Chain A
């Protein structure tokens, strides 16, 4: 049965992931398919500031021909005291068929989906999940290596606060990718070592053995939260820089979900390096989101 919502990557099957990536690749080389969601009202509901994800979704919605409505309420206010459930019913009554939602609290998209009689696409809920980001990362990896099984990927940095890391861990596990998480214990608790995922504190020990390294954004608030000392202590161990680039295999790739902090988790040399794929990632995002919208609203076009 076709899934109604995309709250995290595991709302779709392994075969459906492959189907979505095939569709995204097809969209990449083609003209916009403006008939796919013609007349379908899609609401972008962003409770949290977003530049690239909101823009990417809006463009994807326009390219599949949806009627696009964008709304950015404050993080704390929804509908003047209205509950999530009431808001969901109201929005459906207005005619909204699909909601793309980002919210600072984990679980918001799930709560919305339980009463919204339409489709909910999670564009990020707190530190929980960001499934379209994981799908575009997977698309980038597949176009690079042509396969998933047996790939070795290191995800480096603030895993604890990262919805991108969580969704990638879920998606990569489904596809047989070997995941190693790298970071200090305050940002990467031992509780993440479940389901075959490995934890490594020594970045240099894993660098030479991976096909891809995904660098996560480090926020300065972590210092005030006593999770990190001064940033130079973090960069000593976990920054991807000129020195560590030499240890990375020549056929490996570097991913970053953005926005990145130059001089923190990575340096200018990394962004200039031929192995960086952040531009390809951003580009793939629009096509993945077109595929997700089409799949949820219209179902699969061919047998996956």
Chain B
């Protein structure tokens, strides 16, 4: 089977390509990048006026399965992924039960194979049931397919437990990923603490709740020499801490979401939970600091924190409504809207090259011989209509907005799984997970 992605602007920072090229795929692998490919007998993907990049990897999504299939399943999440231009996602372990045993991880891998869309990489729990006390079996989780470890929104509160976990798991491939929020400082907050919360009479969580855990975890990373990744950084000071840790030689990476880059906390004037997320949307100073962090290279990765919930759940009053919202199908547009003039090579590095390197997974490059995971996108303004999402989560603060960029086609392992607005599962049933 031969596929030619024709006439696109190929951008691959690892190969140093940033030019109009044809991309040739044979039997699921990249076979060549040429100025004019022979299209005889090939399936042609028209990439005129579009950008062709190594497949985008969203290293922070919540697929809700097992446990909450009304919010999302592996299949619906994988469909949302390819529709949003992602060839792979890494799913957080806050399922029910948590991804803390090889059996459950194997089931996630199996469901992803059945869906036959995006590659799905499970992230294992750091502690059993994400309860913060007993260590999860890292080696066996790794054997089952876990590419990183995190207790996700349940920040490991006990520094001794986290330190021991990091020491024990130091030689297990994949970083520890920290969702940094101090539960005591956060309290019952529904939004960021600041001028907006003061005006609106809502309980706010200070940026300090994040920064204090970022500082602790960076020190534990230095102490244990475990690879570390800070999830969804939301404050300027947390970025300063990352810079400081790197200056001391600590191997730390970090990610930022489209919503933290684009929105500040003024949206809460609506008193609607569409804006409720952890960590909370911060004020405009922090938002601007995140944009600077993307430009200056402090931030390694764009990640969505795709967190689908039922619309009825998000329609509840602020304190009862769940945190988070769907992200996969608006992400490309959200990033471009928030950081409009970011060079394409940097954009591709943040969406593909860097997450592939950090997770140690295939992809991140269009080098000949690598698996043919390809994202084709264009600068084409479109209006977000969340009702049309493939995800079961129909809530996003981007709903109704015009975004400047979107995915046109997605190729996973040489199979065109998304094109012309349609999601098409692979027919060859080659397992798409590793």
Contacts and interface: CB of A to CB of B under 8 A. Distances in A.
Given A129-B201, A166-B201, A194-B195, A106 B315 contact: no
A202 B316 CA distance: 42
A250 B217 CA distance: 59
Contact of A105 (B195, B198, B312, B317): B317
B197 interface: yes
Interface residues of B, number: 18
A166 B202 contact: no
A51 interface: no
Interface in B185-200: 193-195, 197-200
B198 A191 contact: yes
A127 interface: yes
Contact of B194 (A106, A110, A163, A191): A191
Contacts of B271: 106-108, 110-111
Contacts of A189: 193, 198
Contacts of B272: 111
Nearest to A225: B187
Q: Which of B194, B197, B199, B270 is most buried by chain A, counting CB atoms within 10 A of its CB?
A: B199
Interface of A: 83-85, 105-108, 110-111, 125-129, 160, 163, 166, 189, 191-192, 194
Contact of A107 (B195, B315, B318): B318
A188 B417 CA distance: 55
B171 interface: no
Contacts of A166: 199, 201
Contact of A84 (B195, B200, B317, B319): B317
Interface string B197-221: 1111110000000000000000000
A128 B201 contact: yes
A106 B198 contact: no
Given A83-B312, A83-B315, A111-B317, A106 B195 contact: no
B139 to A, nearest CB: 42
14 contacts: A83-B312, A105-B318, A107-B271, A108-B271, A111-B272, A111-B317, A128-B202, A160-B198, A163-B201, A166-B199, A191-B194, A192-B198, A194-B195, A194-B198
Contact of A128 (B200, B270, B315, B319): B200
A163 B315 CA distance: 24
A160 B201 CA distance: 7
Contacts of B199: 166, 194
A298 to B, nearest CB: 29
